[in-house]
């Protein structure tokens, strides 16, 4: 059976399956499926079975079974640190030099470091390092990677992921083959839902706008869309219902999905109203990132939105 990643990005996997270079740079919008493609590439380059129609990994050989179990010995995923040394969410995404060199990881933020990972020969065919967020590589980290990318030990493969090519250090860009991960057609998303046994969901597909990654978190997305509709309805009802709805929204707030769900709900509003509503969302996010009082921030948010949407 064709995998969902092959269904959504088959032509791209045809290219990556025959790639024999040292580094790939996959660019595309947030949640478009770059990480899934990168994992599929890692599986391709370690697969010993018969490839699928798009050159995707067989899914049945020992290497593929290790990928399916989420414990492949030849895969290392490097991401920006998510928290500060005090345990709070990091305001600025950064992949520090400590992710590359264990001696520079004073806080032991990374369990496995790139240099040490690549010193070991592959268990299967090829060690693969996926750097998810190449635009967040600090200068020291990027420079430390250059020698490895140019002459990777044991023929390792680097797969860099980025939303904006212009934000990636030129030294990384120049040493990588660049491929774009583009939004998938709505029909492909619908088929992906069908493969997982789900009923058609036109609203979810419209919200996804071709971004396959949205489907992986679809229950959270559906909850955020429901909250957005309820909150917007309360804004239109009156001031007290709006403030009560803001309190409920605060308790359910998911920074990954609620801002976008609100904007999706307001997509039919006049442009000037949407612009003011967007500004209100940005002000709320800035307040929460600055650790302002959440309760007060959401009350101000509700008031600002009532004015923005003409309900004040």
pTM: 0.85
- What CATH number does residue 148 fall under? 3.40.50.300
Query: Does residue 75 sit in helix, strand or coil?
Result: strand
Alpha carbons within 13 angstroms on the beta-carbon side of residue 180 total 6
Pair 301, 169 in one domain:
no
pLDDT of residue 2: 55
Pair 39, 164 in one domain:
yes
Crossing angle of helices 218-237 and 258-265, rounded to 10°:
50
Contact present, 308 and 280 (Cβ < 8 Å):
yes
Residues of the chain with pLDDT under 50: 1, 86
pLDDT of residue 166: 93
d(CA 125, CA 156): 9
Pair 161, 70 in one domain:
yes
Token match 């971004």: residue? Answer: 211
Crossing angle of helices 239-252 and 294-308, rounded to 10°:
130
Q: Is residue 105 part of a domain?
A: yes
Angle at 43 between CA 61 and CA 117, to 5 degrees: 110
User: With left for phi above 0 and alpha for psi between -120 and 50, is residue 28 left, alpha or beta?
Assistant: left
Q: Is residue 21 part of a domain?
A: yes
Pair 153, 254 in one domain:
no
Q: Is residue 136 part of a domain?
A: yes
Pair 102, 157 in one domain:
yes
Q: Is residue 57 part of a domain?
A: yes
Pair 104, 245 in one domain:
no
Last residue of one domain, picked from the residues 122, 156, 182: 182
pLDDT of residue 1: 39
pLDDT of residue 89: 53
d(CA 258, CA 228): 7
Q: Is residue 278 part of a domain?
A: yes
Pair 244, 157 in one domain:
no
Q: Is residue 154 part of a domain?
A: yes
Query: Does residue 236 sit in helix, strand or coil?
Result: helix
Structure tokens given for 150: 């140019």
Structural domain boundaries enclosing 264? 217-308
d(CA 281, CA 109): 32
Q: Is residue 187 part of a domain?
A: no
pLDDT of residue 305: 96
pLDDT of residue 312: 54
Contact present, 160 and 25 (Cβ < 8 Å):
yes
pLDDT of residue 81: 78
Quick one: which of 40, 46, 71, 73 has its CA closest to 61? 46
Stretch (H or E) spanning 260: helix 258-265
d(CA 173, CA 200): 40
Token match 């599986």: residue? Answer: 43
d(CA 287, CA 259): 14
Task: Name the domain count of the chain.
Answer: 2
Last residue of one domain, picked from the residues 165, 182, 199: 182
CA pseudo-torsion sign 207, 208, 213, 217: positive
Contact present, 137 and 149 (Cβ < 8 Å):
no
Quick one: which of 255, 251, 252, 234 has its CA closest to 243? 234
């Amino acid at each position: 059976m064709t995998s969902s990643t092959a269904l959504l990005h088959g032509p791209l996997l045809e290219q990556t399956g025959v790639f024999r270079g040292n580094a790939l740079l996959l660019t595309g919008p947030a949640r478009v499926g770059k990480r899934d493609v990168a994992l599929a590439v890692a599986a391709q380059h370690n697969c010993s079975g018969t490839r699928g129609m798009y050159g995707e990994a067989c899914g049945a050989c020992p290497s593929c079974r290790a990928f399916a179990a989420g414990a492949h010995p030849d895969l290392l995923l490097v991401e920006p640190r998510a928290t500060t040394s005090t345990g709070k969410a990091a305001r600025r995404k950064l992949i520090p030099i400590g992710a590359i060199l264990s001696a520079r990881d004073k806080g032991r933020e990374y369990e496995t470091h790139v240099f040490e990972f690549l010193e070991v020969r592959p268990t299967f065919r090829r060690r693969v390092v996926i750097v998810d967020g190449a635009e967040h590589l600090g200068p020291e980290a990027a420079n430390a990677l250059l020698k490895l990318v140019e002459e990777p030990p044991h023929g390792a493969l680097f797969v860099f992921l980025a939303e904006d090519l212009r934000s990636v250090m030129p030294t990384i860009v120049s040493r990588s083959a660049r491929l774009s991960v583009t939004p998938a057609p709505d029909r492909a998303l619908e088929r992906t839902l069908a493969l997982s046994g789900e009923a058609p969901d036109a609203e979810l597909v419209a919200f996804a706008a071709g971004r396959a990654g949205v489907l992986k978190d679809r229950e959270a997305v559906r909850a955020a869309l429901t909250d957005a509709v309820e909150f917007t309805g309360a804004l239109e009802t009156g001031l007290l219902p709006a403030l009560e709805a803001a309190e409920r929204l605060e308790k359910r707030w998911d920074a990954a999905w609620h801002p976008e769900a609100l904007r999706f709900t307001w997509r039919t509003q006049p442009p000037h109203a949407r612009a003011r509503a967007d500004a209100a969302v940005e002000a709320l996010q800035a307040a929460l990132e600055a650790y302002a009082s959440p309760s007060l921030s959401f009350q101000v948010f509700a008031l600002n939105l009532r004015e923005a949407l003409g309900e004040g």
